[in-house]
A and B are shown apart, each in its own frame.
Chain A
Amino acid sequence: MSKMHIKLTVNGKEEELLAEPRELLIYVLRERLNLTGPHVGCETSHCGACTVEMNGKSVKSCTVLAAQANGAEITTIEGLGTPDELHVLQKMFKEHHGLQCGYCTPGMITRAHRLLQENPNPSEEEVRFGMAGNLCRCTGYQNIVKSIMAAAAEMNSAKEAAE
């Protein structure tokens, strides 16, 4: 089967590559573009470790074909913050112990980012419901929820201060 030309905008940067249509988005990101933030967890669309943002939706990139993503805008954890300048969600996960082994964290934060775009002021229950597609085997979720609530509060007060 022939390879196809695929264009993606990843973290604001235009990328072009040749890929077989059957290649999964997660492998294009990790192995061709060297973006190893999104992780391969279950590979069966259950765990959410591979979550990235595609055209304003949170998606499990293990269940999206590179061909389907052709033309899309993608944001990975690398596009949210840098080690020197952490995103507020990254800061709050650090402060509130929202991670232990860290494997689920990029997916958690990328998903939480979209959740807060759509609902900047979520209740604890809404955070839990909105994060239900991401599994964590370490934390028991308490501190993840706490981190996201704290990030929402921080983002809202920054927004108020700016107004």
Chain B
Amino acid sequence: MIPPAFEYHRPQDVASAVQILAEQGDEARCLAGGHSLIPMMKLRMAAVEHLVDLQDIAEMQGITTESGTIRIGAMVTQHELITSDALASAAPIIREAALQIADPQVRYMGTVGGNVANGDPGNDMPGLMQALDATFHLHGPDGARDVAAREFFEAAYMTAREDEEILTAITFAPHAKGYAYEKQKRKIGDYATAAAAVLIEKDGMVAGNATVAMTNLSDTPVFSEAAGAALTGTSCDAHAMKAAIDAMLNDIDPTEDNRGPVEFKRHVAGVILSRAISRAWDRA
């Protein structure tokens, strides 16, 4: 399987990349790690006339954790997320989730920016970024703008990013404790049957602010505000856990596919969320 012919571009900075996108319109696509796009091109499910490879753009690389904000360049790979000690202490949920994505070879190539910008409901980073209340930084012909992760995902493969815009970086506040990313998958390399990102801040003996986001249980990641609210002010006991799961089940809308029927997915979603809440609370 070989992709159809295309013109290849490898710009050196964001401005040149945006210019190519603006000139070529919807015939151009950005290439990050390529492990979602190249398979789709091989299958002729993605038609690309101009491929804009972002690998040389220095401004889209690197992880910084200074002055209370974590910034991850969009071209940072899953492997780099996993091996960053600074990230592991400032936001360990990132490493926990990245280790559950695909397999080692794919993680050397797959990027955090590709994972969120692709808009695939099966990707793990979108829900995680919603739980972290991350901000996505976009660059287009009219300049830069920011979109909250919780506002970014519109439908499967449809996001707030315009065709001629590039997602260049992600920022969020540190969250060192009270975290868990729990994922049920059929085998290594599979997308989630259900996955949950949970962050809980401890306020004395009870949970303070708590956030819950679910992966692959709707056509977008599901940020369940009600599930988080059900945990706040509780000791995450069985009663609170049940309330959070009931709230989450109200917000998801899974469809039947080869990972199972709707009823099964709802069951797995509940189990996964309860595990994630227990683990996050233990670590809070």
Contacts and interface: CB of A to CB of B under 8 A. Distances in A.
B52 to A, nearest CB: 11
A76 interface: no
B3 A22 contact: yes
Interface centre among A51, A65, A115 (most CB of B within 10 A): A65
A22 B7 CA distance: 9
Interface string A10-50: 00000000001111100100000000000000011110100
B108 A24 contact: no
A33 B10 CA distance: 24
A23 B5 CA distance: 9
B105 A68 contact: no
B25 to A, nearest CB: 18
B170 to A, nearest CB: 22
Given A63-B39, A133-B189, A68 B55 contact: yes
Contact of A22 (B6, B39, B55): B6
B135 to A, nearest CB: 29
A51 B28 CA distance: 29
Interface stretch (A53-61, A89-97, A98-106, A141-149): A53-61
A45 B7 contact: no
A4 B8 contact: yes
Contact of A133 (B8, B39, B55, B104): B104
Nearest to A43: B1
A63 B103 contact: no
A132 interface: yes
B5 A59 contact: no
Given A4-B8, A111-B105, A132-B104, A45 B2 contact: no
A43 B1 CA distance: 7
Nearest to A53: B108
A59 B38 CA distance: 14
A122 interface: no
B231 interface: no
B105 A58 contact: yes
Nearest to A70: B10
Contacts of B35: 45, 63
A161 interface: no
A65 B109 CA distance: 12
Interface residues of B, number: 28
Contact of A46 (B7, B8, B189): B189
B238 interface: no
Contacts of B205: none
Given A44-B39, A46-B189, A63 B34 contact: yes
B31 interface: yes
A57 B79 contact: yes
A96 B61 CA distance: 42
A162 interface: no
Contacts of B6: 1, 21-22
Contacts of A4: 8
Interface in B85-127: 102-106, 108-109
Interface of B: 1-8, 10, 31, 34-35, 38-39, 42, 51, 53, 55, 79, 102-106, 108-109, 188-189
Interface of A: 1, 4, 20-24, 27, 43-46, 48, 51, 57-60, 63-65, 67-68, 70, 111, 115, 129-133
20 contacts: A4-B8, A22-B2, A22-B3, A23-B2, A27-B2, A43-B1, A45-B35, A46-B189, A58-B104, A58-B108, A60-B106, A63-B38, A63-B109, A67-B51, A68-B53, A129-B104, A132-B104, A132-B188, A133-B104, A133-B188
The 3 closest A-B pairs by CB, nearest first: A133-B103, A21-B8, A57-B108
Given A21-B5, A23-B2, 20 more contacts: A1-B6, A22-B4, A44-B1, A48-B105, A51-B105, A57-B79, A57-B108, A57-B109, A58-B105, A60-B105, A63-B38, A64-B109, A65-B38, A67-B8, A68-B53, A68-B55, A111-B104, A132-B104, A133-B103, A133-B189
